[in-house]
Amino acid sequence: MPVHVTLATYSDWMYAAALVIYIGALLLHAAQLAGRKARLPELVGVAAGSAERTGAPAQAEAPVAAGAPADPVEAAAPGIGRSERLGRMAVSLTVLGALVHAGSLLLRGLAVERVPWGNMYEFGSSICLVAVVTWLVVVRREPAVLRLGAFVLLPIVILLFTSGTLLYTKAAPLMPALQSYWIVVHVSAAVIASGVLLVAGVASLLFLARSANDRDGDRFARLARRLPAAGVLDRVAYRGTVFAFPVWTFAIITGAIWAETAWGRYWGWDPKETVAFVAWVIYAGYLHARATAGWRNGRAAWVNVAGFAVMVFNLFFVNLVVAGLHSYAGVG
């Protein structure tokens, strides 16, 4: 199995290009948020009269007073505002970035004649692509989340940057332990679940900020007024998790089947297996919490955030620090 060096080089260039494009989209999203900040008090002032003077939490009350829809910003901006235009440009840029990113992975795969998720650099890159695509799907189905762009793209850009620098691995054939068709099934399921759960985790985190602000207008005031309604955030988090949980279950089961073929046992409490199990239990807890009175909102969101934290821990700490059978990072 030779390595096609030219293709691998092009793949690396496209990776860098995708990262730059994502950063551009991130900046546009940031400008979108900043634009909001500058315009809000003035517009709300017009709508609600003396809201500013009385010191009332303007964003929460103004629309109600004016009888406008629940969303102060959408209500204030006639037609498509400047900030929404910025947001849409950011999304278009993200689509471009995703295409270049997918091209980078495709070329990497062609260069080494195998699936492009055989080491941690490729794994991280694949997860990011899934997260970006998930984000684009969510934006299409729930336009209200457009404002989340910066918050979703930020962890993706960080993860891509880390993968492309610290974890970068030259294009190479797979080590014998990974030469199995199960790598196609098991790892892709893990990639898809991780990417979707990343978006869900961010949504839950922002849900917590937003609902804390709903209870007490002083908390996260600068952040929360730029966020969509708590209900929207909650829905994104829940639907994402409901989609990803069975995929994650599938990833664990196929992992066990592969482990039986490769290591002689289907389950051996290898650190990666253990943490995958912990994440599974936490996400199962999230789904149950959603059906339990008293846990439904705040606590369930905390559980989802904990699940996300465990996934990140599983990706970095277990692969890089803890030595186990899953140490395929190819770094250090």
Partner 1 sequence: MGEAIGVLRNTWRGLTSMRTALVLLFLLALAALPGALLPQRSLNASKVDEYRAQHPALGPILERLGAFDVFASPWFAAIYLLLFVSLVGCLVPRTLDYARSARARPVGTPRNLARLPHHRAATVGLTPDEVVETANDRLRGWRVERRVEAGGAHTLSAEKGYLREVGNLVFHFALLALLVAFAVGKLFGYEGQVIVLANGGQFCNSGLLSYDSFRPGLRVDGTDLDPFCVRVDGFTADYDETTGQARSFSADLAYQDAADIEGGRWERSELRVNHPLRLAGDRVYLLGHGYAPIFTVTFPDGQQRTNTIQWRPMDPQTLLSEGATKFDPPGVTDAQQRRERQLAVTGLLAPTAFFDGSLLTSSFAEPRDPAVAVDVLRGDLGNDSGRGQSIFTVDQSMVETGRLVRVARQNLRPGEELTLDDGTRVRFDGVEQWASLQVSHDPAQLWVLVSALLVLAGLGVSLTIKRRRFWVRATPAQGHDLDGRTVVELGGLARTDQAGYGEEFARLATGVTTALDERAETERDARCRST
Which CB, 12 or 270, lies closer to partner 1? 270
Question: Rounded to the nearest whole angstrom, what is the least distance from the CB of residue 328 to partner 1 in the complex?
Answer: 12
| Burial environment of residue 249 by CB neighbours within 10 A (0 to 12, 13 to 18, 19 or more) | middle
CA–CA dist 189, 110 (Å, integer): 21
316 binds partner 1 (CB under 8 A): no
Residue 96's CB: how many other CB atoms inside 10 A?
A: 16
Indicate whether 223 belongs to the interface with partner 1 (CB under 8 A): no
Query: Contact 36/73 with Cβ under 8 angstroms?
Result: yes
Give the residue, chosen from 274, 316, 320, 327, that forms a contact with partner 1 under the rule CB under 8 A. 274
By CB under 8 A, tell whether 102 contacts partner 1: no
Q: Does 160 bind partner 1 (CB under 8 A)?
A: no
Per CB under 8 A, the segment of 11-19, 63-71, 203-211, 257-265 that binds partner 1 is 257-265
Near partner 1 by CB under 8 A: residue from 179, 212, 298, 320: 179
Rank residues 29 and 235 by Cβ distance to partner 1 and give the closer one: 235
> What's CA 332's distance to the chain center, in Å?
27
Residue 246 as a binder of partner 1 (CB under 8 A): the answer is yes
Is there binding between residue 253 and partner 1 (CB under 8 A)?
yes
The span of 7-15, 27-35, 126-134, 293-301 binding partner 1 (CB under 8 A) equals 293-301
Closest to 145 measured CA to CA, from 52, 226, 85: 226
CB 313 within 8 A of CB 275: yes
- 242 binds partner 1 per the rule CB under 8 A: yes
Q: How far apart are CA 304 and CA 316, in angstroms?
A: 19
* Residue 239 interacting with partner 1 (CB under 8 A): yes
Mapping DSSP to helix (H, G, I), strand (E, B) and coil, where does residue 116 land? coil
We find the least distance from the C-beta atom of residue 50 to partner 1, in angstroms, to be: 37
Task: Give rounded-to-5 percent helix, strand, coil for the chain.
Answer: 75, 0, 25
What secondary structure letter does DSSP report for 113?
T
Quote the tokens at residue 139.
């934006």
What's the rounded Cα separation, in Å, for the pair 23 and 155? 11
**Interacting residues toward partner 1 by CB under 8 A:** 1, 172-173, 175-177, 179-180, 182, 234-235, 238-239, 242, 245-246, 249-250, 253, 256-258, 260-272, 274-275, 277-278, 281-282, 284-285, 288-292, 294-296, 303, 310, 318, 322, 324
